[in-house]
């Protein structure tokens, strides 16, 4: 073989796909960064409270906020436990419903147990919520209700809260 006819290395493959992949990665990263920055700007960078009580809690002085925070955490813990119980009962009811042969009495008992758990969860949450309200001053309760109404879109005066 002469040097002119020696096998040559294959020509480098096009790097077009590399640039397409890098471009797509850059677009996705910029999108994610934009979503993050937009969320921070929209929410003012505040993530210390979550849920419907957040605006109310931020309106309180720091000392009072810390007192009520503990009560809210207890309320949330109770709700979490109730949800777990309900979830387990629903899973058990699902198994009973799918079981062959169909046992009407067992299905009725399972469905009633799920309903009873939901009612107990609602009762317990209401008691904890009323307990939280009882620890608030009249002004704090008024502020809470006004923020709750505003959050739900009730901007017009309905006539039932003239004293607020």
The mean per-residue pLDDT over the stretch 140-158 comes to 72
The pLDDT, as a whole number, for residue 151 is 67
Dump the DSSP string for 27-72: HHHHHHHHHHHHHHHHTTT--S--STTHHHHHHS-HHHHHHHHHHH
105's tokens:
């009495």
Residues belonging to the chain: 164
Q: What is the mean pLDDT of the chain?
A: 79
Token duo for residue 90: 């629903």
DSSP three-state, residue 110 = helix
- 4-13, 67-76, 91-100, 140-149 — which one is most confidently predicted on average? 91-100
Determine which of 11-20, 108-117, 137-146, 154-163 has the lowest per-residue pLDDT on average: 154-163
* DSSP 8-state symbol, 100: S
Of 116, 110, 112, which Cα lies nearest the Cα of 94?
A: 110
- Res 1 pLDDT > 70: no
- As a whole number, mean pLDDT of residues 4-21 equals 70
Residue 150: pLDDT band (50, 70, 90) is confident
Q: How far apart are CA 89 and CA 95, in angstroms?
A: 10
Q: What is the pLDDT, as a whole number, of residue 134? A: 87
Cα separation, 11 vs 8, in Å, equals 8
Whole-model pTM over 0.85: no
Q: Are 124 and 86 in contact (CB under 8 A)?
A: no
Residues 47-106 pLDDT 10s: 455 555 677 777 788 888 888 887 778 777 877 888 888 899 999 999 999 999 999 999
Count other Cβ atoms within 10 Å, centred on residue 144. 20
Residue 101 confidence (pLDDT): 93
Q: Which residue's entry shows tokens 């929410």?
A: 43
């Amino acid at each position: 073989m002469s040097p002119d006819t020696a096998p040559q290395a294959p020509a480098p493959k096009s790097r077009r796909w590399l640039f397409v992949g890098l471009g797509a990665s850059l677009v996705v990263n910029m999108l994610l960064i934009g979503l993050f920055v937009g969320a921070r700007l929209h929410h003012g960078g505040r993530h210390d409270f979550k849920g419907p009580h957040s605006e109310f809690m931020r309106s309180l002085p720091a000392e009072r906020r810390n007192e009520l925070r503990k009560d809210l955490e207890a309320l949330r813990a109770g709700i979490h436990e109730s949800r777990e119980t309900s979830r387990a009962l629903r899973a058990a009811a699902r198994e009973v419903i799918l079981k062959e042969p169909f046992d009407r009495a067992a299905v009725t008992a399972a469905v009633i147990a799920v309903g009873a758990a939901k009612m107990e969860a609602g009762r317990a949450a209401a008691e904890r919520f009323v307990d939280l309200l009882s620890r608030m001053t009249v002004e704090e309760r008024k502020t809470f209700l006004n923020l709750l109404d505003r959050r739900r879109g009730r901007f017009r005066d309905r006539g039932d809260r003239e004293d607020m």
